[in-house]
Structure 1
Amino acid sequence: MSDSAVAYFLTSSSLAIIGFSVHLLLLRSAKQPVYLPLAGCLSAVAVLICQPVVKELAPGLQTYILLLALPALYLIPPCFWLYVQGITSSARWRPERAHLKHFTPAGLGLFIVICALLLPGELRDAMLVEEDISALTSTPDMLRFIVYGLLIITFMMVLGWVVQAGFYVHSVFRRLHSYRTQLRELFASTEAREGRWILWLMLAVGGVWLLTAGILLYGNLVAPVQTDIVIRDLVILIMVWSVAIWGLRQKPGFEEVYQGDKEAQEVLKSITDVKYQRSALNQQLAESIVTKLNHAMEHDRLFLDASLSLPRLARHISRSANHISQTLNETMGVNFFDYVNRYRVNAAKEQLQNTDDTVLDIAMNVGFNAKSSFYTAFKKETGITPNQFRKAS
């Protein structure tokens, strides 16, 4: 099988995954609008990669697909950013007029497309499909001037996309870091909420982005760069599959908060630069909360509940969730996540010393949802792994 045939198969597979995923995302967006940006992101990717399939099945559309590549390129970063913004938001995400500013570059790309569509068809096809720039030599001076202007703007926009993509990748990393901090103020187990797949995807995208940037710069300034189409299309297929499968599985991290948990909403509002500024918590109340917290953990062993959250703990000890959060952070110097996991680690240490249970069984017994999170928490508290602790005991 030739490389072109393999590439065609890989591209077709990517498009099939995108088509199925976008359909499911649009169905879900009726109740959760946060899935709309991800559907837009995948649709833009489809426009960028469908050229080989269109060339075989509908060659008459080839020119139009090539023209749409520029606005599609500029749609991917802001769409993915809005998706990340949505799943990390403490309030239900909805499309807003303010979001339109993110699509200004894509709008400029669409304007260039409209201008290109007004050009003579033969000239447009020669330049885009056949890549024959010499077709300009026989055109009127004014038309040639306009076309060169569009080419220069397009070239600048292609280079500008590198900057745009870098900006949004950086924004996603910052957003996820802040989001993780907020999660740990409310939940004792955050594995299913953190969206770690996005971090790994961003690292992969960052690597591809740097490689693409180098190819674009070298190809436009020095000479065209030949790339292995099979490897390229395989990488695209893996990324498309990853975004589709994890994007469909990922739920907004604070979904239960904005579905009606008012105590959790108050805690989230307080997690700012001036948090707890208006709180009525005094030293006597803080000491009382500390006593109740320790009793709930040491005697009621609430930490064994894998789904334990701050509001649930607040209801158990009949205290305000906001006051508990303030007490943990200001009086005890620890967030809710680390406070609960400290008790879990201590319970695990006892079982590691006194039982022959596997590390995974012990992790589940003491309230962890995953072996990886248990190892991370255990090493943070003790400086060694569970297996090293068991051997040293």
Structure 2
Amino acid sequence: MNIDVVQTVIYSGMLGAIALSLVDVATREKQKTTTFLAGLLLLLMVNVLGELFLYSGAYQYAPGLVGAQLPIRMLLGPALYLYAYACMSPNKAPSQRTYLIALTGPLLAILPMLPFVLGLSSEQKLALADPLTRDPDHYKLALFMCVGTMLVFIVFTGIYLVATLKLHHRHCKQLMDRFSSIERQSMGWFRVVLILWGIAWFMYSVEYVMVFMGWRWFGTGVVLPLFEAVVLVAFAHLALKQSVLDESEKGKPQANDTRATMLSEQRMAQIAAKLEKVMLEDHMFMEEELSLNKLSNAIGISENHISETLSQHLQMNFFHFVNSYRIELAKTLLLTTGKLVSTIAYEVGFNSKSTFNTAFKKQTGLTPSAFKKQQKSTSNEKILN
């Protein structure tokens, strides 16, 4: 039996990781997010089983099943999108049209498979595994199936990965309209893993076709499976670690993005003055979990009116509005105290040093440490002059 030991070990490890993740999901409370995560993990399991079927040599006992996982693999992109939708979208459920469009991938993948699946017997398929026994015409059918399904996979999955990235971007934007701290809700890890998975799947598809055509490189069959395994384990770990967001923690599309300004300039100026007063005098920006709803209740002005004032009059969202006050106070503390940067970050309202550093650099062009060093250097130069 022809067994690829390295790939068998790698895919067996991936299978074990998925199985453990599914056990974890099964013990959790049934919710929309966990249901879609379980569905995605099951599809990944089918995909990995399909690879094990080939590399472990099991295909020799059931050659008719070769390639059976290829149409199911087309559902990985839609499954990632639906999982992201369940985690991030304020809407209750995807439309039926969303599910129907997702099914077009497997249907398109079946088309280039038909000549191979229906045109060859089990013995003819087995003969293709050995260059000495394969029939050139039959091998062309196999190559057509391989290239055709991989092209469909790259295009179809690529469309869904882009759509998922856009969904995540929209989610973050909506969060920034309502919250001053978005680290937990924004699922920043998801975007990174999504891009890595896109790279892994694209390179896997290219290598899959290359191997079929007899082209190999020194990392064939090792580097990409290992990379895919690392991404899968990282995704499973972070997805299981991610807390489920309730509807109040998700962003909501703001009506003023699509409608004309409803408030007069005078009214927005009044609201802006009230916002400035509550920030400077009451220091509300120092609350770590300050939200648009809390601010609305504090000053007695509706969320929509505050949002409209921020976007139309002050030209910023809630996130940047609140953090601008935090950074101004942080600048003062950096120059007048000997406190650590991390201490100042938490003191002014940020709930992580990394978020503080990012926001500080975006507003000032410098990291907190570089800002402090530059200001001291400037002061010393003035003294010497």
Give the TM interval when normalised to the shorter protein: 0.7 to 0.9
TM-score normalized by structure 1? 0.81
Distance 2:13 2:181 in 1: 36
What is the CA deviation profile of residues 217-236 of structure 1, one whole-angstrom value per residue up to 9, with x for unaligned ones? 5445x533354433333212
The within-5 A match list for 1:312-331 is 312-331=294-313
1: CA distance, partners of 2:167 / 2:124? 46
1:167 partner letter: I
- How far the C-alpha of 1:151 sits from its partner, in A, is 6.3
Report the count of equivalent residues. 370
Secondary structure at 1:50 match in 2: helix
- Match of residue 223, structure 1, among 200, 207, 214: 214
What is residue 235 of structure 1 aligned with on the other side? 227
Q: Deviations over 1:114-153 (max 9, x none)?
A: 99389644344444x668873698xxxxxx8xx9768635
1:17 and 2:17 are equivalent in the alignment: yes
1:187 to 160, 179, 191: 179
**Higher RCO structure (Cα 8 Å, ≥6 apart):** 1
Contact 1:90–1:254 (8 Å) recurs in 2: no
What is residue 72 of structure 1 aligned with on the other side?
Answer: 72
TM-score (norm 2): 0.82
- Summarize the Cα distance change of 1:27–1:95 in structure 2 as closer, same or farther, 3 Å threshold: farther
User: In structure 1, what residue type is equivalent to 2:14?
Assistant: S
Structure 2 match to 1:246: 238
Secondary structure of the residue that 2:222 maps to in structure 1? helix
Distance in 2 of aligned mates of 1:105 and 1:133: 33
The equivalent of 2:379 in structure 1 is none
> Using the alignment, how far apart are the partners of 1:117 and 1:8 within structure 2?
28
Q: Give the partner amino acid of 2:147.
A: F
In structure 2, relative to structure 1, the CA distance for the partners of 1:106 and 1:25 (3 Å cut) is farther
CA contact (8 A) 1:90 1:257 kept: no
Out of 301, 307, 323, which is 2:283 matched to?
301
Mapping 1:24-63, distance limit 5 Å: 24-25=24-25, 28=28, 30-32=30-32, 34-50=33-49, 54=53, 63=63
Change (3 A) 1:382 1:122: same
- SS in structure 2 of the partner of residue 319 of structure 1: coil
1:21 partner letter: S
1:101 is matched with 101
**Alignment partner, residue 116 of structure 1:** 117
| Residues 84, 29 of structure 1: alpha-carbon distance in 2 compared, 3 angstrom cutoff | farther
2:256–2:308 contact (8 Å) kept in structure 1 = no
CA RMSD of superposed structures (Å): 3.4
CA–CA separation in structure 1 for the residues paired with 2:333 and 2:198:
42
Which of 363-372 and 86-95 deviates more?
86-95
Match of 1:140 in 2: none
Write the distance in 1 (CA, Å) between the matches of 2:189 and 2:248: 21
Aligned to 1:339: 321
Do the aligned residues in 2 keep the contact of 1:89 with 1:252 (CA within 8 Å)?
no
> 3-state SS of the aligned residue for 2:68?
helix
CA contact (8 A) 2:17 2:233 kept: yes
Instruction: Decide whether the 8 Å contact of 1:159 with 1:216 is kept in 2.
Output: no
Q: Distance in 2 between matches of 1:99 and 1:52?
A: 26
Counterpart of 2:100 in structure 1: which amino acid?
L
Structure 1 contact 347–366 (Cα < 8 Å) conserved = yes
Gaps in structure 2 of 5+ consecutive residues: 377-385
SS at the partner of 1:333?
coil
SS in 2 for 1:329: helix
Code of the aligned partner of 1:19: A
Q: Percent identity?
A: 27
Cα pair distance change 1:43/1:361, threshold 3 Å: same
- List runs of 5+ in structure 1 lacking aligned partners: 138-143, 259-263
**In the alignment, is the contact (CA less than 8 A) between 2:204 and 2:224 conserved in 1?**
no
